[in-house]
Amino acid sequence: MPIVVKNLTYKYMRRTPFEQEALSDVCLEIADGEFVGIIGRTGSGKSTLVQHFNGLLKPDEGSVTIDGLSATGSGLKELRRKVGVVFQFPEYQLFEETVYKDIAYGISKLGLDGAELDRRVRKAAGAVGISGAMLQKSPFELSGGQKRRAAIAGIFVMEPKFLVMDEPGSGLDPAGREEIFAYVSKLHRDFGVSVILVSHNMEDVARYAERVIVMSDGRIAMDGAPRSVFRRIDELEGMGLRPPDVLYFIRALKSLLPGIDDGILTVGQAAAELEKWLAPALARVPARAPMASAVTAQALARASVASAAVVAPASAPASEAPASAQASASAQASAKGGAGAG
Ligand SMILES: Nc1ncnc2c1ncn2[C@@H]1O[C@H](COP(=O)(O)OP(=O)(O)O)[C@@H](O)[C@H]1O
Ligand SMILES: [Mg+2]
């Protein structure tokens, strides 16, 4: 059964001069097994919304139910088992002497022990790439990314149906972010956990979410498939958001190649799409590496030069166009040839 939010309104500092409406009449359903991204500028109400999913906040108006359980009634304990929440900088909550004990903390509070506890801890640790040797270390010996994975394991060990992550990538370097999202995708894929990923980083959401909810001023402004939401660039900008650069790139190319797929979300998809369009022109570029397998800024730069060449024949005499296409594309290829991959 899903998460059902009906006409949810929430105000901070109610009945004071500082009263602030953080959510206004939000209606939403999240089905089992979904991977939903929630985006929106800072202060748009994302964290306030997801704190209702495990009863940390209670609705002022409207209702929130998870698997039919209300966040207000006696079902709160049961609800917190179903919904695991990983807050921003969860590693600050690591405090035990070993990683093992930290991961086990939540389920030992539920009364689990012995072989069953051990099995669950090792399964959760393994799912996020924490090795047996790492389990015996102090959490303080781990890297930033490892700490965060340990914190996620401490939530995943409870075997929640819904995993809510509020800005899980913040403060990590690109490799650390990548690692976290790879493991979160795995929890979703291999264990069927529903994931609700809150992020102001649209790249992360574009890459991983199957559905995107855009919050603005405490309301849901858009809700749909990533390809339909992200192509609404102007509206997103109006809400203080900047879609991934690759969307701007595709939009610019669309004036040259009107038939290009503008539902593209990642550099990899852009490269594959361009390869289709550019196959004839690129066939004439000597010693070319396959583009889709070398998905780099360099490949895209070459592709964009070649794409200009593809459309050039419309304005240039047909006999001259292939030669100029070949010349400019190969000049670009050799100029970029020694540069490192992006
Ligand atoms: N503890 C709080 N006390 C008062 N106002 C708050 C509190 N937390 C958030 N707010 C306000 O509620 C609104 C929504 O905040 P929040 O849900 O944290 O947004 P987001 O997670 O999208 O950045 C903002 O205007 C914010 O200033
Ligand atoms: Mg927030």
Closest ligand relative to 45 C-alpha = 1
This prediction has a pTM of 0.81
Alpha-carbon distance of 61 to 44, in angstroms, equals 18
How far is the C-alpha of 284 from the C-alpha of 158, rounded, in Å? 57
Total count of domains within the chain:
2
Report the distance separating Cα 32 and Cα 192, nearest Å.
Answer: 8
Minimum-distance ligand 1 atom for the alpha carbon of 49: 17
How many whole angstroms from 133 Cα to the centroid of ligand 2? 34
- Burial pattern 138-152, b for ≥16 Cβ within 10 A else e, equals ebeebebbbbbbbbb
Give the closest ligand to the alpha carbon of residue 56.
Answer: 1
Ligand 1 pocket test: which of 23, 24, 48, 166 has the largest number of ligand atoms within 8 Å of its C-beta?
Answer: 48
Residues 198 and 262 in one domain: no
Query: Which of 219, 238, 257 is the last residue in one of the domains?
Result: 238
Q: What SS3 state is found at 120?
A: helix
| CATH number of residue 229's parent domain | 3.40.50.300
Residues 225 and 271 in one domain: no
Whether residue 25 lies inside any domain: the answer is: yes
Q: For residues 196 and 36, is the Cβ–Cβ distance under 8 A?
A: yes
Among 228, 230, 224, 222, smallest CA distance to 204 is for 230
Lining residues, ligand 1, CB within 6 Å: 12-13, 20, 22, 40, 42-48
In a domain, 341, yes or no: no
Q: Do 18 and 89 sit in the same domain of this protein?
A: yes
Q: What is the Å distance from ligand 1's center to 49 Cα?
A: 10
- Asked if residue 165 is part of any domain, the answer here is yes
What residue owns the CA closest to ligand 1's atom 4? Answer: 12
Q: Say whether both 229 and 269 belong to one domain.
A: no
Ligand 1 center from residue 11 Cα (angstroms): 9
Please identify, by atom number, the ligand 1 atom nearest to the C-alpha of residue 51: 17
| Cα(84)–Cα(152) distance, integer angstroms | 9
Pocket perturbation via mutation, ligand 1, pick of 11, 18, 20 by most ligand atoms within 8 A of CB: 20
Tokens 């992020």 found at: 199
Do residues 40 and 215 touch, judged by C-beta distance below 8 A?
Answer: yes
Q: Would you say residue 106 lies in a domain?
A: yes
209 and 64 assigned to the same domain: yes
Q: Which of 235, 185, 244, 193 is nearest to 214 (CA)?
A: 235
Centre of ligand 1 from the C-alpha of residue 339, in Å: 45
Domain C-terminal end among 210, 238, 266: 238
Does 342 reside within a domain? no
pLDDT of residue 317: 38
Domain match, 185 and 277 both: no
Distance 165 CA to ligand 2 centre (A): 10
Q: Give yes or no: residues 160 and 309 share one domain.
A: no
213 forms beta bridges with 38, 223
Asked if residue 193 is part of any domain, the answer here is yes
Going residue by residue through the chain, which has 342 residues, state the pLDDT in tens, using 9 for 90 and above: 799 999 999 999 999 999 999 999 999 999 999 999 999 999 999 999 999 999 999 999 999 999 888 876 678 888 888 999 998 887 777 788 999 999 999 899 888 889 999 999 999 999 999 999 999 999 999 988 899 999 999 999 999 999 999 998 888 888 888 888 999 999 999 999 999 999 988 888 988 999 999 999 999 999 999 999 998 999 999 999 999 999 999 999 998 889 999 889 999 999 999 988 888 887 877 765 555 544 555 555 555 555 555 544 444 333 333 333 343 444 444 444 333 333
Nearest CA to ligand 1 atom 5: 12
Whether 17 and 42 share a structural domain: yes
Which one of 12, 57, 219 would you pick to mutate in the ligand 1 pocket, going by the greatest count of ligand atoms within 8 A of its CB? 12
- Whole-number Å distance, alpha carbon 252 to ligand 1 midpoint, is 36
| Of the residues 238, 267, 294, the one at which a domain ends | 238
Range of the domain at 253: 245-336
- Does one domain contain both 129 and 208? yes
What one-character DSSP code corresponds to residue 130?
-
User: Does 251 share its domain with 127?
Assistant: no
Do both 223 and 106 map to the same domain? yes
Residues 208, 274, single domain; the answer is no
Ligand 1: nearest atom to the Cα of 40: 22
